[in-house]
Structure 1
């Protein structure tokens, strides 16, 4: 179903220097009843240039932090195609409001792909004790948290002691901004088309490979022209003008992105503030990590 499912942040940092104000998946902004800790210089981490995809569009710039821990082969494919200029000029051919924006098809119909072979699915990945995972919730028999900027669900750490490789299953969660790889009906049919989530859609979890998340420019993703038709195919679509991995750009053109570290106290305060505001509705999708872009 190449056409049917070749589918698939934010400048909060300045405000969070005074207080932590997360945005939920529904674009509500819960308020904090307690002062949050100030964000110090070592509370930030710098996104690795080789894991930062710079998508310039006619509507603005989108920055996606890729997560090779979750999908190494798909991240390698995105890097390869971006370096070759494959994505330059391609349309956001399928955009559905309340769902996602899809691109990466040279035909612009949903039926095209690159000249490289299709990829084996990476719907889940194996997490070990060295994976940079930070939990924010512990529902029965599972953990939910973050690997860098990516929201994930995983088996508990205790299960590592029972597995031959001392690793446990984990998978990305389809929260707003999450980047997924589009495919046909066959699981191992992803190639070049990808999608960025405009809103959460948990029905995709463990069914489409997750390879990163938008850390800046979710407003651009949501501003892309969408189709009112059920198939989501857009007439006169918006386009990507240039797509490159930041590490492949000259230093003078390379954006520098700092993301709030999930291992630091301000992140823990952000989680607790969001949990208190959302109550029983709390989800990892409610947590929008503060970002500074230079």
Structure 2
């Protein structure tokens, strides 16, 4: 049984056997967010940031997921989950994910795949992984805070939204490091598992919307930097607990960008959290959201070449 184990009555099991109905998201969710929203004529998008405000995603950390709905590009986060990132690289290089179905998809929640059986019960031939729900952050870890709730910092580590203990706490630890963990914002990539903590293997999910109840319960290993619209367009399940019973969408090919021939290799530039453009983006988003502001409201612009 592979998936989101039922953590509480409000958390959905991501993986194998379907969770009970009471573990599913609300019965009357908000309308699907798959349709493009056209801004009113008076809204003028901000100009693109100048060249120095972008960073290029390393090819060895760029996962290229081609699907029947289009292409999704995920930036891997080895600083947050080195074991899980290495497993994704290993399986992608072996062609393990090619042709595998998106077998469980719940709108306003997530899209799950990685099971060669397509039932939620399958996995790779490799041993299960030790959980990496949190990571250790040092003073030189590339982290940019955007908010400081009481006793914590939230911000970005590359393209990954994270929460961490404050820098001041580093003086109190033997290794001069503090805990951090990925936040389940839209586009964040997590690893499915059974109820056993150390049971993640090959199944993973991409968030269609934010779902903070998963945080520090399921390993975060990356974030979508292009193609969130594709993730939200994947066919939603029509069976119990989001299982897709007929003609699911599929991953047609999954590769690490550095393994592709140069002519086929996409390049992605993402707004650098260390840039002035990012600080301006945070300021605008805070002003728009007011008291409802969340780090999940910040969408990093990207350019794909």
Pairwise same-fold verdict (TM > 0.5):
yes
Listed as ranges, the matches of 1:91-240 within 5 Å are: 91-235=101-245, 236-240=247-251
1:51 and 2:61 matched:
yes
Look up the match of 1:260: 271
Q: 1:33 to 1:230 in 2, by over 3 A?
A: same
Other structure's SS at 1:231 match: helix
Q: 1:30 to 1:171 in 2, by over 3 A?
A: farther
Structure 1: gaps of 5 or more residues: 8-23
Other structure's SS at 1:2 match: coil
Which segments of structure 1 move beyond 4 Å, counting only runs of 4 or more? 27-38
Look up the match of 2:256: 245
- More displaced stretch, 219-228 vs 185-194: 219-228
CA distance in 1 between partners of 2:270 and 2:296 (Å): 16
Look up the match of 2:299: 288
Deviation at 1:228, TM superposition (A): 3.6
Look up the match of 1:12: none
TM-score (norm 1): 0.89
CA RMSD, Structure 1 to Structure 2 (Å): 2.2
Write the deviation string for residues 33-68 of structure 1: whole angstroms up to 9, x where unpaired: 999686111110000000000000011000000100
Instruction: Report if aligned partners of 2:145, 2:154 keep a CA contact under 8 Å in 1.
Output: yes
CA distance in 2 between partners of 1:48 and 1:245 (Å): 10
Deviation at 1:5, TM superposition (A): 1.8
Write the deviation string for residues 147-185 of structure 1: whole angstroms up to 9, x where unpaired: 000000000011111100010000000000000000000
Other structure's SS at 2:150 match: coil
Other structure's SS at 2:222 match: strand
Other structure's SS at 1:129 match: coil
Other structure's SS at 2:241 match: coil
TM-score (norm 2): 0.86
Instruction: Report if aligned partners of 2:2, 2:200 keep a CA contact under 8 Å in 1.
Output: no
Q: 1:30 to 1:174 in 2, by over 3 A?
A: farther
Aligned residues: 276
CA distance in 1 between partners of 2:47 and 2:165 (Å): 31
Instruction: Report if aligned partners of 1:260, 1:267 keep a CA contact under 8 Å in 2.
Output: yes
Corresponding residue to 1:42 among 52, 68, 75? 52
Look up the match of 1:5: 14
Deviation at 1:132, TM superposition (A): 0.6
Deviation at 1:28, TM superposition (A): 8.4
CA distance in 1 between partners of 2:236 and 2:97 (Å): 19
